[in-house]
Amino acid sequence: MSGPRPVRAARGTELSAQGWQQEAALRMLQNNLDPEVAEHPDKLVVYGGTGKAARDWRSFDAMARTLRGLKQDETMLVQSGRPVGVMQTHEWAPRVLIANSNLVGDWANWEEFRRLEAMGLTMYGQMTAGSWIYIGTQGILQGTYETFAAVAAKKFGGTLAGTITLTAGLGGMGGAQPLAVTMNDGVAICVDVDPRAIERRIEHRYLDVRADSPAHALALAVEARDARRPLSIGLLGNAAELLPQLLAEGAPIDIVTDQTSAHDPLAYLPVGVAFEDMADAAAKDPAGFTVRARESMARHVEAMVGFMDAGAEVFDYGNSIRGEAQLAGYDRAFAFPGFVPAYIRPLFCEGKGPFRWAALSGEASDIHKTDRAILDLFPENESLHRWITMAGERVHFQGLPARICWLGYGERDRAGERFNEMVADGTLQAPLVIGRDHLDCGSVASPYRETEAMLDGSDAIADWPLLNAMVNVASGASWVSLHHGGGVGMGRSIHAGQVTVADGTALAGEKIRRVLTNDPGMGVIRHVDAGYDIAETVADERGVRVPMRED
Ligand code: NAD
């Protein structure tokens, strides 16, 4: 029967599919909907507003059934969360090819998307929701940790100790912010309108305490800041009201950012609407709700600019809030930068990005063994050591145990091959899946986020993610996805993902070596093409071929 029900991936080595590649896709689809992982599993929503793993329950059942019967030389095609075909391919081909939320340029806006969604023709795949490699809040924790570490290095002498960060949004992604700040020894005040979001982050130990009022939050924050003690504080309320209020009161804030679901105006609560009425109000009058949400975002962003004028370090955290505020007529919306040009681009030039893996055994011990393998493989990388050690101690697994760390060109393939050997020699109890976020060095075109302010002005050129998907298909990935609208919303991004299964076979080892070389290689060549010196040095030193540099 097709309908909402709790979903959980199988653990262990017993296969319900014809091989590990298919089994892995099935388990990761199910894992995305595990109640420990997904934000609203009954609605098939994994994270990021309405990012879904399957279009509807019937499609979910059909995908699970098809994956179970899929042969080693067959490929299932998924169109926006629905399986639409099975084709004979070959054993090097991906077992699943996914295209989610893609619309032709002139039609690529939320209004048209929602019209088509209501007709049952599409779904919003976000990035790793519709491509089945979401691993819960840990996935973003690493990136957020890296970003706050970069803020600390740039402005605060390498640590956030003695500083207060103000942010909003404690959802699937935003929930990583409090722990990322405290891991960098800082104090965070995190605003959210949903009391459940606050409780959930406290339960998972991502958030320390909840304040009763803005004054209480500030008192707790100032006390911890003065003692140079890390602390994260949840504050219930609407950011569009609380940020202007805190600014007017002269709150001593050092860093401001935001991770509400601003990319989707129907998922951002406007001032004047009660949280309990949000879903009804958005459904009843989406156009009116959008106007009100954008007006509130303009007030929210205006307060962020006010904090910047008062001397705080302020950045957009990839949710398009500046673009939405500008649509509401606020003309200083882009006064502060996005986090990628401000902190992340130098990493992208080295092919670095969010490498992640999950243990299909379900055993935490498998991940702890891979943690040790990473530490052994890269003994010279201090920040990687700090992250892996802290993650091992503090990260609460959601669903199948998983780990993430940022690795670059020449590193990911080494880690992947090592993992495959560990499956082959029985060190690990079952195969691993190795994938990444679509937010990576060479897999996304997103002018408000990953490709904002490119050196050569190529922000909106979207050939790169298409080439990325194609090269991953050609290299032997287990499933490859090509999406539109993730992160920053409809019309604003095109991006690709890949997942490759380490099942311990020699064939998997060959595929892993190619995929995990070529995938980050796209990041290097994309940034060489845009004229970044660091990328040119990396290409020269590590032997990445760029024909236009060979004449
Ligand atoms: P989510 O929908 O799970 O959570 C959003 C949270 O914002 C919810 O808890 C909601 O209650 C809260 N919220 C909504 N309106 C609010 C308001 N007016 N005031 C206070 N709180 C409000 O979304 P998510 O997965 O956490 O993603 C958040 C945003 O970050 C999205 O726009 C997403 O695209 C973006 N994002 C950024 C990155 C990045 O790399 N920086 C990565 C992924 C996602």
In this structure, the answer to whether residues 92 and 150 fall within a common structural domain is: no
Asked if pLDDT for residue 1 goes beyond 70, the answer is no
Asked whether 81 lines ligand 1 (CB < 6 A), one says no
In this structure, the answer to whether residues 181 and 294 fall within a common structural domain is: yes
Active site residues: 405
Asked whether 267 lines ligand 1 (CB < 6 A), one says yes
- Total domain count for the chain? 2
- Last residue of one domain, picked from the residues 118, 147, 177: 118
For residues 23 and 279, what is the distance between their CA atoms, to the nearest angstrom?
Answer: 36
- The interface pTM score, or ipTM, of the predicted complex is 0.97
In this structure, the answer to whether residues 56 and 150 fall within a common structural domain is: no
Ligand 1 atom at shortest distance from the alpha carbon of 238: 19
Share of the chain above pLDDT 90, in %: 91
Asked if pLDDT for residue 113 goes beyond 90, the answer is yes
Q: Is residue 225 part of a domain?
A: yes
Ligand 1 atom at shortest distance from the alpha carbon of 173: 26
Asked whether 317 lines ligand 1 (CB < 6 A), one says yes
Asked whether 262 lines ligand 1 (CB < 6 A), one says yes
Mean pLDDT of 482-507: 97
In this structure, the answer to whether residues 57 and 182 fall within a common structural domain is: no
Q: Residue 354 forms beta bridges with which residues?
A: 406
**pLDDT tens sequence across 154-168:** 899 989 999 999 999
164-168 and 255-256 beta bridge pairing:
parallel
Q: Is residue 535 part of a domain?
A: no
Predicted local confidence at residue 137, as pLDDT: 81
Q: Is residue 44 part of a domain?
A: yes
CATH of the domain at 230: 3.40.50.10730
In this structure, the answer to whether residues 102 and 237 fall within a common structural domain is: no
Asked if pLDDT for residue 174 goes beyond 90, the answer is yes
Asked whether 260 lines ligand 1 (CB < 6 A), one says yes
Distance of CA 193 from the midpoint of ligand 1 (Å): 11
- Last residue of one domain, picked from the residues 118, 153, 172: 118
In this structure, the answer to whether residues 156 and 288 fall within a common structural domain is: yes
Q: Which of 101, 45, 46, 54 is nearest to 76 (CA)?
A: 54
Distance of CA 263 from the midpoint of ligand 1 (Å): 8
**pLDDT tens sequence across 217-274:** 999 999 999 999 999 999 999 999 999 999 999 999 999 999 999 999 999 999 999 9
Q: φ, ψ for residue 409 (rounded to 5)? A: -65, 130
Distance of CA 47 from the midpoint of ligand 1 (Å): 9
In this structure, the answer to whether residues 230 and 324 fall within a common structural domain is: yes
The answer to whether 487 is annotated as binding is yes
The phi-psi region of residue 531 (left if phi > 0; otherwise alpha if psi is between -120 and 50; otherwise beta) is left
Distance of CA 339 from the midpoint of ligand 1 (Å): 15
For residues 426 and 70, what is the distance between their CA atoms, to the nearest angstrom?
Answer: 26
In this structure, the answer to whether residues 96 and 161 fall within a common structural domain is: no
Supply the pTM of this predicted model: 0.85
The answer to whether 126 is annotated as binding is yes
**pLDDT tens sequence across 315-331:** 999 899 999 999 999 99
| Residue 92 domain boundaries | 22-118
**pLDDT tens sequence across 115-140:** 999 999 999 999 999 999 999 888 88
In this structure, the answer to whether residues 105 and 201 fall within a common structural domain is: no
Ligand 1 atom at shortest distance from the alpha carbon of 319: 32
In this structure, the answer to whether residues 298 and 327 fall within a common structural domain is: yes
Q: Is residue 162 part of a domain?
A: yes
In this structure, the answer to whether residues 314 and 177 fall within a common structural domain is: yes
